[in-house]
Amino acid sequence: MMNVALNSLHARDITYQLHPYTNARRHEEVGPIIIDRGEGVYVYDDSGKQYIEAMAGLWSVAVGFGEKRLVDAAARQMAKLPYYHTFSGKAHEPSILLAERLVKMAPNGLSRVFFTNSGSEANDTVVKMVWYYNNAIGKPEKKKFISRISGYHGITIASGSLTGLPINQRGFDLPLPMMKHVGCPHHYRWSEPGETEEAFADRLAAELEAKILEEGPETVAAFIGEPVMGAGGVLVPPATYWEKVQEVCRRYDVLVVADEVINGFGRTGTKFACERFNIKPDILVISKQLTSSYQPLAAILFSDKIYQGIADQSAEIGSFGHGFTTSGHPVATAVAMENLDIIEERGLMENAAIVGEVLQAELRRFADHPLVGEVRGVGLIAAVELVADKATKAKFDPFGKVGAKFFQQGHEHGLIIRAIGDTIAFCPPLIITEEQIREVVSRFARTLKDIEDFVA
Ligand code: PLP
């Protein structure tokens, strides 16, 4: 007879699944935390323990968990038309309405939309679209992409090459040779002693220009960046950075791609972070908060200039030979429409700006703590970087040990954060209240107390 424990969900998870972003050998020993249900900013595991979800899942559940309106929107669409594709000229109402709505919301007059299922697929699609476009306009040499060290753009072959994090490339034979990386716009770690934010931004723009010249401007197609970097550690760019790098891109006919997969829909306190940082992208990538991740969906918004090149090429070749079975999926796009209605009706982007100030101020109260190197963030995205030595900014040895402990110990206090190395990241649902922010911070403080003992 099978032992009940061996047949538990825990045991079966260990037996059958390979988890993303998990040390598989360690997982065999410790097993999963099984999240069973969610409500608002809280999730509950299978033992009924409550956690405050200070990461909104994976930076994404804007409207919180258990939002019935999204369930109903999905059910309505499932009942009417559960699936149809958008290949060979077919269309359906939800994807048409969403495309129109996104264009009306978009910065810089971006006028066309292409749908994918995930941010990674979207960035792979961006690479292919830019290559196709440059072939169409007679610039077949112009194929290289430049991104930043610590940037995150996904994990598929092209997007994982744009990503500038070793964990996504080591062991995978990435990056592809046409993907180049420049310095990370993180003043605390990357600036020279005494360098102002503006001077640091000048240096990064000069580095980008030197990289374009070294590669040959006729070979560099695009520069891609997250306005505020997320998975690389919540890195807010230094003042004037985006103005300066865009100026360099324009000088060398290099397209600007803004990856707002995390930033979009109010996360940084404005609708798109492009507005906050004065970015005028040729291409914008969005996902996550678009559906609050209740359904997989991402979108690429792009300029008419790019559309015209692609349209000509598709006529010449006979078809734009790219797309996914579920591109613009009717249930996903219907859920996105309802999710955007909720965000607008409840003023959640405005809420992010208001309660975001509270989150930023509350976390900055830890700036003098001996283990805290830097507190940073904007709107409802923030991070606290823990260091071994505050004066020298020395990292813990081994790097990431303290972050991993914090992550585990947070669970004991009913707190879900993300540990990025030894940096603790926060990105709560946009529905969070001021009181709930104080609860996040008090659970953070209790966890930090445990960490003091751990490193002592
Ligand atoms: N781009 C950014 C900025 C992201 O943060 C992510 C995911 O975290 C992606 C792209 C990749 O999205 P996905 O995980 O849906 O493939």
Task: Read off the pLDDT of residues 259-278 as tens digits, 9 standing for 90 and up.
Answer: 999 999 999 999 999 999 99
Residue 44 pLDDT:
98
Averaged pLDDT for residues 281-304: 98
Which CA distances in Å does 188 have to 3, 112, 122, 193, 229?
53, 38, 31, 10, 14
Which percentage of the chain shows pLDDT scores above 90?
98
Which pLDDT does position 29 carry in this prediction? Answer: 96
Q: Please say whether the beta carbons of 325 and 407 come within 8 A.
A: no
Task: Tell whether the model's pLDDT for residue 162 goes beyond 60.
Answer: yes
Q: State the pLDDT at residue 1.
A: 38
Distance (Å) from CA 120 to ligand 1 centroid: 6
Mean pLDDT of all residues belonging to the chain: 97
Confidence check: pLDDT of 16 > 80: yes
Task: Categorise residue 324: left if φ over 0, alpha if ψ from -120 to 50, beta otherwise.
Answer: beta
Residue having the nearest C-alpha atom to atom 13 of ligand 1: 119
Residue 229 has pLDDT above 50, yes or no: yes
Provide the whole-model pTM.
0.97
Phi-psi region of 352 (alpha: psi -120 to 50; beta: other; left: phi over 0): alpha
pLDDT tier, 7 (very low <50, low <70, confident <90, very high otherwise): confident
CA 120 to centroid of chain Cα atoms: 10
Interface predicted TM-score (ipTM) over 0.95: yes
Task: Locate 442 and state its tokens.
Answer: 């008090």
Over residues 168-221, the pLDDT tens digits come to 999 999 999 999 999 999 999 999 999 999 999 999 999 999 999 999 999 999
Which residues are CB-neighbours of 291 under 8 A, at least 6 positions away? Answer: 70, 297, 332, 335, 336, 339
Residue 40 is given by DSSP the state: B
Query: What is the average pLDDT across 409-434?
Result: 98
Closest CA to 63 of 94, 41, 35: 41
Q: Which atom of ligand 1 is nearest to the CA of 151?
A: 3
Contact 152 CB / ligand 1 (< 6 Å): yes
Contact of 286 with 298, CB cutoff 8 Å: yes
| Helix-strand-coil split of the chain, %, nearest 5 | 45, 15, 40
* 336 pLDDT more than 50: yes
| Residue 389 alpha carbon to ligand 1 centre in Å | 32
Average pLDDT over residues 67-79: 98
With 70 as the cut, is the pLDDT of residue 338 above it? yes
Do 415 and 422 form a contact (C-beta atoms < 8 A)?
Answer: no
Say how many C-beta atoms besides its own lie within 10 A of residue 217's C-beta.
Answer: 14
With the most atoms of ligand 1 within 8 angstroms of its CB, the residue from 262, 286, 293, 294 to mutate is 262
Stretch 9-34: mean pLDDT: 96
244-258 pLDDT, tens digit each: 999 999 999 999 999
Residue with tokens 């996360």: 267
Neighbouring-strand partners of residue 53: 416
Locate the ligand 1 atom nearest the alpha carbon of residue 288 and give its number: 15
Task: Give buried/exposed letters for 159-196 (b at 16+ CB in 10 A, else e).
Answer: bbbbbbbeebbeeeebbeebbbbbbbbbbeebbeeeee
Answer yes or no: is pLDDT of 371 > 60.
yes
Calculate how far, in angstroms, residue 261's C-alpha sits from the geometric centre of ligand 1: 6
- Atom of ligand 1 minimally distant from the CA of 119: 12
How close is the Cα of 452 to the center of ligand 1, in Å? 33
Residue 2 has pLDDT above 50, yes or no: no
Q: For strand 50-53 and strand 255-259, is the pairing parallel, antiparallel, or unpaired?
A: unpaired
Q: Would you place residue 5 in the very low, low, confident or very high pLDDT band (cuts 50, 70, 90)?
A: confident
Query: The tokens of 140 are what?
Result: 């077949």
58, 74, 110, 209 from 280: Cα distances, Å:
26, 34, 9, 18
